Amino acid sequence: MLEFALPWAFAALLLPALVWWLFPRASGAGGAALRVPFYAELVKLAGDTAGGGVRARVWLPLLAYMLLCSAAARPQWVGEPESPPQSGRDLMLAVDVSGSMAAEDMSVAGRRVDRLQAVKIVVGDFLERRAGDRVGLILFGQQAYQITPLTFDRRSVRHQLDTSAVGLAGRETAIGDAIGLAVKRLRERPASQRVLILLTDGVNTTGALQPLQATELAEAHQVRVYTIAFGSSGQSGPFGMTLPSAEIDEATLQKIAQSTGGRFFRARNTSELAGIYAELDRLEPIAQAAEQIRPREELFIYPAAAALLVLVLALLLQPLALHGRART
């Protein structure tokens, strides 16, 4: 339906009438004037269109003024009520980019890729399904860095993840620092919405915080931590040999998840990892908004453009009217 955001703007339509009524008309130049009773016949004989031109010069500006008043009232087309998703979660993703993530023991579409590349593909698909959530990104290795703050712009989060590289934050692994940084960024948010999904393929080897110390902080600030241990049991070596994979501290990751009310997952390939993120969709559903909104499309440009065309037409007709008067 059509609505006007500023209907009081139509009161300006009365302004020309008020000006006409309040201000006296300008007096003529004076002097004698020739009055003939057959002026109309003379006009017809001369082919004069001055009378029509005068009328056009009066009514066209008035029409343009009315259109401008309509534009000022901000006409809007109001659509059907909609219930957009509301952010039910503040979701922080912590992804390990230490040196061990370069191990090429994953397969995607029949080709072998390293662990980080596999994570980018699976987590990217997970982000597409989190419409309505605010998502942040932490990359950690020897140091933990918040790459993207909590934001509804999931495209930017995915871009930052896709452009990350192994070793970007150092070759070692600081799991405790990653958890501590996530808690720091989430603690100001509503308690029921604080969620951290931490993915690593190794053991905490450095950092100012030990993982269990960081877990105590997460508990104190009611941050649920879901931990994912990612990596195959072994990686292929030359001549078809199987080399031992990097060690994963599953016991500590389980303790972190259990203490904070989250869950621990073990992923040995991309299919299992995709299944884990699908499970996380069910564990952390997106709340729906109770309040409905109605989309509005601004239409003021149309009467404004019409007013401009009418004014141009009035300017084009003015020389024709003057020409007709000169012939008379």
**Low pLDDT (below 50) residues in the chain:** 48-50, 236-245, 289-290
User: Residue written as tokens 């989430």?
Assistant: 186
Ramachandran region of residue 8, left (φ > 0), alpha (ψ -120 to 50) or beta? Answer: alpha
Range of the domain at 112: 90-283
Q: What is the DSSP-derived secondary structure letter of residue 109? A: T
pLDDT in tens, 203-224: 898 889 999 999 999 999 999 9
What is the structure's pLDDT at 58?
72
State whether 41 and 112 are in the same domain.
no
- How many CB atoms lie under 10 A from the CB of residue 276? 20
User: For residue 32, what pLDDT is reported?
Assistant: 52
Domain CATH for 187: 3.40.50.410
Structure tokens at 192: 């029921």
Indicate if 219 and 274 belong to the same structural domain. Answer: yes
Give tens-digit pLDDT for 97-135: 998 898 887 877 778 888 899 899 888 888 888 877 889
131 plus 237 within the same structural domain: yes
One-character DSSP codes across 128-139: HT-TTSEEEEEE
Q: What letters, b where the CB count within 10 A reaches 16 and e where it falls short, cover 14-51?
A: eeeeeeeeeeeeeeeeeeeeeeeeeeeeebeeeebbbe
pLDDT of residue 109: 76
What pLDDT, on a 0 to 100 scale, did the predictor assign at position 179? Answer: 95
Beta-bridged to residue 113, according to DSSP, are: 106
User: For the chain, what is the domain count?
Assistant: 2
For the whole model, what pTM was predicted? Answer: 0.59
